[in-house]
């Protein structure tokens, strides 16, 4: 299982499953991260938290803990 936290900078991944419960999962989905969505990892902060991604045409910063809840399959380079 690969999570969004494991995707290298400059790579694109496709969301395959969301983990988490209740409000946390709902918050992630409200940000536009749903199954089948393509996510591009733009950069990672020097200490690894947060991760900046591009999803559905906008930039978004996610905490490492939230990125671990997003299961992905890696796609090609963007």
Domain ranges of the chain: 2-77
DSSP reduced 3-state for 51: strand
What pLDDT score was predicted for residue 59? 94
d(CA 1, CA 43): 22
CB 61 within 8 A of CB 52: yes
pTM greater than 0.75 (yes/no): yes
Residues 25-46 pLDDT 10s: 999 999 999 999 999 999 999 8
CATH 2.30.30.90 corresponds to the domain 2-77: yes
Chain-centre distance for alpha carbon 66: 8
């Amino acid at each position: 299982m690969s999570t969004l936290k494991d995707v290298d900078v400059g790579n694109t991944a496709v969301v395959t499953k969301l983990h988490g419960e209740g409000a946390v999962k709902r918050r992630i989905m409200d940000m536009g991260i749903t199954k089948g969505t393509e996510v591009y990892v733009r950069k990672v902060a020097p200490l690894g938290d947060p991760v900046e991604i591009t999803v559905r045409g906008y930039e978004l910063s996610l905490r490492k803990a939230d990125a671990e809840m997003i299961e992905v399959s890696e796609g090609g380079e963007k």
